[in-house]
Chains A and B, each alone.
Chain A
Amino acid sequence: MLEFAILFGIWPFVSTGLLWWGLAASAPLAIHLWNRRKYDRENWAAMPFLLTAMRKNSRRIRMEQLLLLAIRTLILLIFVAAIANPMISFFSSFGTSLGTKGHTHYMLVLDGSYSMNYRQDEQSRFETAQELALQLVDNSQQGDGFTLLLMANKPHVVIAEPAFDPADVREEIYNLQLHHAGARLQPTLNEISRLLTQTTIHQPRLTETKLCFFSDLCQTTWESTSEAEVRHLLENLATNAEFILLDVGQAADNNLAITSLFPTESLITVGRPISWEVGINNVGTQNSVNPSVGFFVDGKRVQAQAFEVDAKSSTSVRFRHKFISAGEHMVEARLSEDPLNIDNHRWFSLPVRESVRVLCIAGKPGSADNVAFALEPFEHELQRVQCEIVSETAIMEKELPDYDAVVLCNVGRISREEATVLSDFVHAGGGLVVFLGDQVQAESYNQYLGPDSQTPILPTQIGDIISTSGNDFGVHLEAGNFSHPLAAPFREVPGSGLFTIPSYCYFKLIPNNDVQDRVAFSFQNQDIAVIESFRGRGRCFLFATAASIISIDNSQSPAMPWTALPTVKDFVSLWQEMLSLLLSERYQERNVLVGERLEGNERGATPGTSITIHAPDSRTRRTHQRSLQEVGSNAEWSYENTFWSGQYNATTPDKSPTDSGIYAVNIDPTESDLRRFDANLLPHQFQRGFQHTPNTQSLNVASPKPIFRELLGCVFILLLTESILACRFGSRA
């Protein structure tokens, strides 16, 4: 009976078979024609009057007869239409696709990727999608159920179980906020599948399901439809649900995006100018006219630069800035506004210190001297690195969190307590560098810091001492393919002393096959020389050999130093790179992407104390409470709802807002690419219900409710009209 629905335009009918009765509409015409054949005869004397009356009124009489005939035909047609129980379609262009006999479960899936924030004519795509969804709800039938989902990298279920109160659904749609991230189809489809299964079980009266997607059809989101797994999911869903895709996107030819913002070095201290690099990408199809980028520090504009960037190309702009005070700082790069404003900002949070503090623990006097020199080889008015050399007993005496890095140099034994303190320090984001040496008792390291210990800080077991006795040239370092960031800077200096100076003795490091552990350097015999591990928010470097030449290998004759490595010039370079890496972790934990978790620890705070998170939001600043959890000897917190880019502040009740931890949450710039997915390449499940609706006016919306009552009302009115007219016309046409 689909033909009838097509025949009658946009209305689907519940009882289309009854439409055959529409043929009865020809009855008035037949009766009219029959009456013209059947008539009485009358000899008439007063014929002149009749002829005159006829001559004067023939046209009127014909019009009246036609009008009555039309009304009578219309009465029958509308009556037949009424008893066929027509449903005004939802979106008329879908024709009969939305005709329904029972109650329908509408799953509203709004694309939450930030490309939906693209504005045209004062309305963003997301706002258009919201309006369309609201219209859809308004025009639903009583008894229809709604679930609501925001398609994002991790789909956000707003209404999990079908809601039947349109007012509630409207409120939820209205309160929806765009996430500053991309959207992934596959997790969304998985979530839809899960929700549909639940709905089928708990709401059997919802006999039909319609999946209504509202999206701008961006390439980054929809290109995954070609993946086999997505296709498979779509096939499965299509067996029980109908797909409707409302394309709210439009061609976008103008968009600049900041893709990166970072300092060119990690050692950022007060009074030292630091270069900042801002990466800018013109993802539009037009060259941008006189664009400029502003450089903001703590919300104040300090510099701005004009730049040029062609369409479909990128550039970088450099700023140089000197922080004049220590503390938490927020740097922001900001482009002038364009239709997609979300990607015009990028933030970088960093704690700036007077100087970097490094605690060197010397197991034997002089064993940390080379390290201290390498850390701050030059005399400066403003000391960049403050290195403190202490004995091994200071591990328990010092407040390690006050330091940025701790270096163990030939420390003989590690106690359980010391291991705990070091572990807490690393997990909280501190950097630990462990140099071994002739005093080191490997068993205690393995027992308390080894991979199998309760505080597994070290990436490897420390094995036996390897002595190169008999080999006068010892072994020297190799960097493999220089893939490790610590080795990478030395790629261009193959003749560096690092790779020529020999080491004569070292501990065999036995790897644990942890994928996070990365070998930075190895000896030429492929034994591990330097290995890196990540623990918590900190990282640890383990050197197989010593940090000074005073570690002596007495097994050789004559006795030889374990290594001459600390004496080479590039040992300084190595330490500078290593320190940057150690400190960069501290920046990285303050700078995350949307959707990533914020983490922090509060020294001395009582576990259970609430942490207040102030998140940026386009409408309001949201406050979230998080409780400190006791992790080891630290009190830590984490926050996962980083849905929006911008500055997040974490404060404890005992701190003023100015002392709050500042976090920068940035977008993943891949979503800035506004290229549209070719609708013709959409899977067939989406093709049928596809409608391009760049604005709400273009959507032809009709009421989805049954209209037989209205039609019967029309029939009644027409009957009344017909009676009055027939009485007035005095005709039985």
Chain B
Amino acid sequence: MTENSPKSLDPRTLAKLKGLQLRAKHIVEGYVAGLHRSPFRGFSIEFAEHREYTPGDDLRYVDWKVFGRTDKIHLKQYEDETNLVCYLVLDSSESMQYQGPDSPLSKFEYAQCLAAAIAWLVLQQQDSVGLVTFDQILRSNLRPSSRASHLQQILQVLDSTTPVSKTSLGPIFHELAERFTKRGVVIVLSDFLDDVDSLLAGLKHFQHRRHDVVLFHIMDPAELEFPFTQPTLFQGMESLPDLLTDPKSLRKAYLEELQQFTSQIRAGCRRQGMDYRQCPTDHAFDLILANYLSQRSVKVT
């Protein structure tokens, strides 16, 4: 990682760059400079280590010799992944359009950048990456591919997507779980502003399909801190009603509600073994990525 990479990867700096490709390049180059090893592991011929069997694992990789010695079922893992499939699932509902008063990027722009960067990273490792955007319905669906030119398609779809409508996460996730036939890593980038139970049920469906699920919870700092002091008319997005109130008197109660919401999601993810990462839109991308990917490296090793 270069000395100035944190600065260059700061969303405020990145916001000055025009074009998603340029932004993604910035992010990836800044990050890759410090990256030595891919955290995304697949299944290949070069043996790397054993892993305890979990239901749903492919029995082809069971190490029977170990089973014979220990009566425990272990799978053989291999050093290099050649068939990793990464599904980028991007929420493009209206709420993602929110950009707080002090935020450099809207939640959607932040998610765009993050998605582009991840796609770039995955493709650089010759793995496959796909992209799905949705609100109430699926808006676009790029099948996973490991071709270098696939990045352009992904960036184009990302660029052309505009968040306008309500969201409906649960049904969408159920639908996607059915569509993602090849086992892989499902990376969801969303503000998850929907019914928590429905959301977790949908995510569980991915888990059921033996996908590795990663949630990037995109939040605007204003949503996290509710810094408003003047009487404000809050105009609801996604067809929700307006509310004129004194924000200071409501701040504590709002934060409690938000905390309860995020806690439910965190708890749900923890129960289902999914990775959850909250991404405030004023946080540097490389920090988000580095933090997440390093943790993932620990997990997979």
Q: Which residues of A contact B (CB under 8 A)?
A: 35-36, 38-54, 56-57, 61, 64-65, 729-733
Given the interface pairs A730-B248, A732-B246, the reply to whether A52 lies near B233 with Cβ below 8 Å is no
**Could you tell me if A50 and B248 are in contact, using CB atoms closer than 8 angstroms?**
no
**Could you tell me if B250 and A43 are in contact, using CB atoms closer than 8 angstroms?**
no
Q: Residues of A contacting B193 with CB < 8 Å?
A: 45-46, 48
Q: Is B220 an interface residue (CB 8 A)?
A: yes
Query: Once the chains are docked, how many angstroms separate the CA of A729 from the CA of B248?
Result: 8
Given the interface pairs A45-B223, A47-B240, the reply to whether A38 lies near B245 with Cβ below 8 Å is no
Query: Once the chains are docked, how many angstroms separate the CA of A47 from the CA of B243?
Result: 9
Q: Which of B15-23, B252-260, B285-293 contacts A (4 or more CB under 8 A)?
A: B252-260
**Could you tell me if B257 and A41 are in contact, using CB atoms closer than 8 angstroms?**
no
**Could you tell me if A45 and B95 are in contact, using CB atoms closer than 8 angstroms?**
yes
Partner of B254, one of A39, A50, A732, A733: A50
Q: Residues of B contacting A733 with CB < 8 Å?
A: 246
Q: Residues of A contacting B232 with CB < 8 Å?
A: 39-42
**Could you tell me if B246 and A46 are in contact, using CB atoms closer than 8 angstroms?**
no
Q: Is B156 an interface residue (CB 8 A)?
A: no
**Considering residues B220, B228, B231, which has the most beta carbons from chain A within 10 angstroms of its beta carbon?**
B231
Give B135 Cβ to nearest chain A Cβ, in Å: 13
Query: Once the chains are docked, how many angstroms separate the CA of A50 from the CA of B246?
Result: 11
Q: Residues of B contacting A731 with CB < 8 Å?
A: 246, 248-249
Give A644 Cβ to nearest chain B Cβ, in Å: 76
Q: Residues of A contacting B256 with CB < 8 Å?
A: 53
Q: Is B244 an interface residue (CB 8 A)?
A: yes
**Could you tell me if A44 and B236 are in contact, using CB atoms closer than 8 angstroms?**
yes
Q: Is B67 an interface residue (CB 8 A)?
A: no
Give B234 Cβ to nearest chain A Cβ, in Å: 4
Q: Residues of A contacting B251 with CB < 8 Å?
A: 730
Q: Enumerate 14 A-B pairs (CB-CB under 8 Å) in ascending A order.
A: A36-B231, A38-B231, A41-B233, A45-B98, A45-B220, A45-B223, A46-B223, A47-B236, A48-B257, A51-B241, A53-B253, A61-B245, A729-B248, A731-B249
Q: Which residues of B contact A (CB under 8 A)?
A: 94-98, 101, 107, 191, 193, 220, 223, 228-238, 240-241, 243-246, 248-254, 256-258, 261
**Could you tell me if B252 and A44 are in contact, using CB atoms closer than 8 angstroms?**
no
Give B243 Cβ to nearest chain A Cβ, in Å: 6
Name which residue of chain B comes closest to A51, CB basis.
B243
Query: Once the chains are docked, how many angstroms separate the CA of A335 from the CA of B258?
Result: 92
Give A70 Cβ to nearest chain B Cβ, in Å: 16
Q: Residues of B contacting A54 with CB < 8 Å?
A: 243, 245, 250, 253
Query: Once the chains are docked, how many angstroms separate the CA of A730 from the CA of B246?
Result: 9
Give A334 Cβ to nearest chain B Cβ, in Å: 81
**Could you tell me if A44 and B98 are in contact, using CB atoms closer than 8 angstroms?**
yes
Given the interface pairs A56-B253, A57-B253, the reply to whether A48 lies near B231 with Cβ below 8 Å is no
Query: Once the chains are docked, how many angstroms separate the CA of A262 from the CA of B225?
Result: 105
Given the interface pairs A44-B236, A45-B95, A45-B191, the reply to whether A39 lies near B253 with Cβ below 8 Å is no
Q: Residues of A contacting B245 with CB < 8 Å?
A: 50, 54, 61
A-B contact count (CB 8 A): 110
**Could you tell me if A42 and B233 are in contact, using CB atoms closer than 8 angstroms?**
yes
Name which residue of chain A comes closest to B98, CB basis.
A45
Q: Residues of B contacting A41 with CB < 8 Å?
A: 232-233, 235
Having A39-B233, A44-B234, A47-B238, one finds 4 other A-B pairs with CB under 8 Å, namely A36-B244, A46-B95, A50-B234, A733-B246
Q: Residues of B contacting A50 with CB < 8 Å?
A: 234, 243, 245, 250, 254, 257
Q: Residues of B contacting A51 with CB < 8 Å?
A: 236, 240-241, 243
Partner of A39, one of B101, B241, B244: B244
Name which residue of chain A comes closest to B248, CB basis.
A730
Query: Once the chains are docked, how many angstroms separate the CA of A674 from the CA of B242?
Result: 81
Name which residue of chain B comes closest to A64, CB basis.
B249
Query: Once the chains are docked, how many angstroms separate the CA of A571 from the CA of B246?
Result: 119
**Could you tell me if B261 and A40 are in contact, using CB atoms closer than 8 angstroms?**
no
Query: Once the chains are docked, how many angstroms separate the CA of A47 from the CA of B241?
Result: 8
Give B61 Cβ to nearest chain A Cβ, in Å: 44
Partner of A61, one of B97, B228, B246: B246
Q: Residues of B contacting A38 with CB < 8 Å?
A: 231
Given the interface pairs A47-B243, A53-B257, the reply to whether A65 lies near B231 with Cβ below 8 Å is no
Give A301 Cβ to nearest chain B Cβ, in Å: 87
Q: Residues of A contacting B241 with CB < 8 Å?
A: 47, 51
Q: Residues of A contacting B236 with CB < 8 Å?
A: 44, 47, 51
**Could you tell me if A43 and B223 are in contact, using CB atoms closer than 8 angstroms?**
no
Nearest 9 interchain pairs by C-beta: A53-B253, A730-B248, A45-B98, A45-B95, A49-B257, A39-B231, A44-B234, A47-B240, A47-B236
Name which residue of chain B comes closest to A726, CB basis.
B248
Q: Residues of B contacting A44 with CB < 8 Å?
A: 98, 234-237, 243
Q: Residues of B contacting A45 with CB < 8 Å?
A: 94-98, 107, 191, 193, 220, 223, 237-238
Partner of B231, one of A35, A46, A49: A35
Query: Once the chains are docked, how many angstroms separate the CA of A43 from the CA of B261?
Result: 20
Q: Residues of A contacting B107 with CB < 8 Å?
A: 45
Query: Once the chains are docked, how many angstroms separate the CA of A593 from the CA of B141?
Result: 127
Q: Residues of A contacting B101 with CB < 8 Å?
A: 42
**Could you tell me if A65 and B240 are in contact, using CB atoms closer than 8 angstroms?**
no
Q: Residues of A contacting B243 with CB < 8 Å?
A: 44, 47, 50-51, 54
Q: Residues of B contacting A57 with CB < 8 Å?
A: 249-250, 253
Q: Residues of B contacting A39 with CB < 8 Å?
A: 230-233, 244
Name which residue of chain B comes closest to A731, CB basis.
B249
**Considering residues B193, B249, B256, which has the most beta carbons from chain A within 10 angstroms of its beta carbon?**
B249
**Could you tell me if B95 and A49 are in contact, using CB atoms closer than 8 angstroms?**
no
Given the interface pairs A50-B243, A51-B240, A52-B257, the reply to whether A730 lies near B191 with Cβ below 8 Å is no
Query: Once the chains are docked, how many angstroms separate the CA of A626 from the CA of B241?
Result: 104
**Could you tell me if B235 and A42 are in contact, using CB atoms closer than 8 angstroms?**
yes
Query: Once the chains are docked, how many angstroms separate the CA of A369 from the CA of B268?
Result: 147
Query: Once the chains are docked, how many angstroms separate the CA of A49 from the CA of B237?
Result: 12
Q: Residues of B contacting A52 with CB < 8 Å?
A: 257
**Could you tell me if B230 and A43 are in contact, using CB atoms closer than 8 angstroms?**
no
Q: Residues of A contacting B97 with CB < 8 Å?
A: 45
Partner of A47, one of B220, B237, B244, B252: B237
Query: Once the chains are docked, how many angstroms separate the CA of A644 from the CA of B241?
Result: 92
Query: Once the chains are docked, how many angstroms separate the CA of A57 from the CA of B255?
Result: 13
Q: Residues of A contacting B233 with CB < 8 Å?
A: 39-42
**Could you tell me if B230 and A730 are in contact, using CB atoms closer than 8 angstroms?**
no
Query: Once the chains are docked, how many angstroms separate the CA of A663 from the CA of B277?
Result: 114
Name which residue of chain A comes closest to B107, CB basis.
A45
**Could you tell me if A53 and B250 are in contact, using CB atoms closer than 8 angstroms?**
yes
Give B179 Cβ to nearest chain A Cβ, in Å: 27
Give A200 Cβ to nearest chain B Cβ, in Å: 63
**Could you tell me if B235 and A43 are in contact, using CB atoms closer than 8 angstroms?**
yes
Give A35 Cβ to nearest chain B Cβ, in Å: 5
Query: Once the chains are docked, how many angstroms separate the CA of A731 from the CA of B251?
Result: 10
Give B254 Cβ to nearest chain A Cβ, in Å: 4
Q: Residues of A contacting B94 with CB < 8 Å?
A: 45
Q: Residues of A contacting B258 with CB < 8 Å?
A: 46, 49
Query: Once the chains are docked, how many angstroms separate the CA of A48 from the CA of B199?
Result: 15
**Considering residues A40, A56, A64, which has the most beta carbons from chain B within 10 angstroms of its beta carbon?**
A40
Q: Residues of A contacting B252 with CB < 8 Å?
A: 730
Partner of A53, one of B95, B98, B240, B254: B254
